[in-house]
Amino acid sequence: MQGYYKDEAATAEVIRNGWLHTGDLAYMDEEGYVFLVGLKKRMIITSGFNVYPKEVELILAMHPAVVASKVVGEKDLMRGEIVKALIVKKPGDETDEKEIMQHCRDYLSAYKVPRGVSFVANIDSQAI
């Protein structure tokens, strides 16, 4: 990649010392295989703590009522951002916000637990 078309600032942000910094988070196993696990840019900073949405989404996926989820940062005056979860539930399921938040508390540090939960019909149609 040579750069972004007519956007020198964005180009300077991702190309440094000749290297393209994609923002992908990855790890290499003992056999040398590389696994992509998330995006650095997709990080929520809440009260100075880093929260990676993928981690919260994996915990939400463990709940039996959750069909799909998307975790986003929502602007907050006191914390900078708060963790918010958009969730598609199984049809007819009566799970509520409190149950989802308790499920997250069982598996996550307190600052990673969503402070808001919205139940939606479809994740893809949500403007985030």
Give all domains of the chain, ordered by start, each with its CATH number. 8-39 (no CATH), 44-119 (3.30.300.30)
Q: Which has the minimum average pLDDT: 17-21, 56-60, 73-77, 114-118?
A: 17-21
* Residue 1 pLDDT: 83
* Residue 36 pLDDT: 80
Residue 75 Rama label (left phi>0; alpha psi -120 to 50; beta): beta
Q: Give the pLDDT confidence of 1-27 residue by residue, as tens digits.
A: 888 899 999 899 889 998 888 878 788
- In this prediction the pTM is 0.69
Q: Give the pLDDT confidence of 69-85 residue by residue, as tens digits.
A: 999 999 999 999 999 99
